[in-house]
Structure 1
Amino acid sequence: MNARSPHVLTAISLVVAVLAVSSSAPLIAFAAAPALAIAFWRNGLAAVALTPVTLGPRRTELAGASRRALIFCVLAGVALAAHFATWMPSVKLGSVATATALVATQPVWQGLIAAGQGRRPSAAGWLGIAFAVAGAAWATGVDVGVSGQAVLADVLAVLGAIAAAVYTALGEQARATLSTTTYTWICYGTCGVLLLLVCVVGGVHLTGYDGRTWAAILALVAGAQLLGHSMFNYALQRTSATTVSVLILLEVPGAALLAWLWLDQRPRLATLPGLALLLAGVLVVILGATRANRSAVDPVLTD
Structure 2
Amino acid sequence: MTVLWVVVGLCGVSASGPLMAASAAPSLAIAFWRNAAAAAVLAPLTLLRRRDELARLSPRGRCLAVVAGIMLALHFGTWVASLKLTSVAAATALVSTQLVWILLIDRLRGVSVPAQALLGSALAVAGVAVVSGCDFQVSTRALAGDGLAVAGGVFAALYLLAGSAVREEVSTTTYTAICYLVCAVALLAASAVGGVGLTGFGVRDWCLIAAVTVAAQFLGHSLFNHLLAVMSPTVVSLLLLMEVPCAALLAAAFLGQAPHLGIYPGLALILGGLVIVVTRRAATEVAAGEAPLTD
TM-score, normalised via structure 2 length: 0.95
Alignment of 1:74-113 (within 5 A): 74-113=66-105
* Residue 268 in structure 1 maps to residue 266 in structure 2: no
2:44 is aligned with what amino acid?
P
Counterpart position of 1:256: 248
**Conserved 8 A contact 2:74-2:155:** yes
Alignment of 1:175-186 (within 5 A): 175-186=167-178
Provide the alpha-carbon RMSD of the alignment.
Answer: 1.2
Matched residues, number: 290
Counterpart position of 1:11: 3
Q: CA-to-partner distance for each residue in 1:86-107, whole Å, 9 max, x for gaps?
A: 1110001111000000001111
Counterpart position of 1:132: 124
CA distance in 2, matches of 1:218, 1:83: 20
**Conserved 8 A contact 1:13-1:234:** no
Moved over 6 A (4+): none
SS at match of 2:112: coil
Which of 122, 127, 136 does residue 144 from structure 1 map onto?
Answer: 136
* Residue 173 in structure 1 maps to residue 165 in structure 2: yes
Cα displacement (A) at 1:220? 1.4
Q: CA-to-partner distance for each residue in 1:60-93, whole Å, 9 max, x for gaps?
A: 2223322221111111001101101111100011
SS at match of 1:207: coil
Range with bigger deviation, 117-126 or 247-256? 117-126
Counterpart position of 1:197: 189
Range with bigger deviation, 112-121 or 278-287? 112-121
CA distance in 2, matches of 1:288, 1:116: 19
SS at match of 2:196: coil
Cα displacement (A) at 1:230? 1.3
**Conserved 8 A contact 1:36-1:85:** yes
Cα displacement (A) at 1:108? 0.6
Which structure is larger by alpha-carbon Rg, 1 or 2? 1
**Conserved 8 A contact 2:43-2:178:** no
* Residue 278 in structure 1 maps to residue 270 in structure 2: yes
1:246 is aligned with what amino acid?
L
Report percent identity of matched pairs.
Answer: 50
Alignment gaps of 5+ in structure 2: 291-295
Cα displacement (A) at 1:289? 1.8
* Residue 220 in structure 1 maps to residue 212 in structure 2: yes
**Conserved 8 A contact 2:116-2:280:** yes
Which of 61, 67, 73 does residue 65 from structure 2 map onto?
Answer: 73
Cα displacement (A) at 1:49? 1.3
Cα displacement (A) at 1:116? 2.1
SS at match of 1:56: helix
**Conserved 8 A contact 1:47-1:185:** yes
Alignment of 1:288-303 (within 5 A): 288-297=280-289
CA distance in 2, matches of 1:32, 1:143: 22
Range with bigger deviation, 56-65 or 27-36? 56-65
* Residue 63 in structure 1 maps to residue 55 in structure 2: yes
Cα displacement (A) at 1:121? 1.8
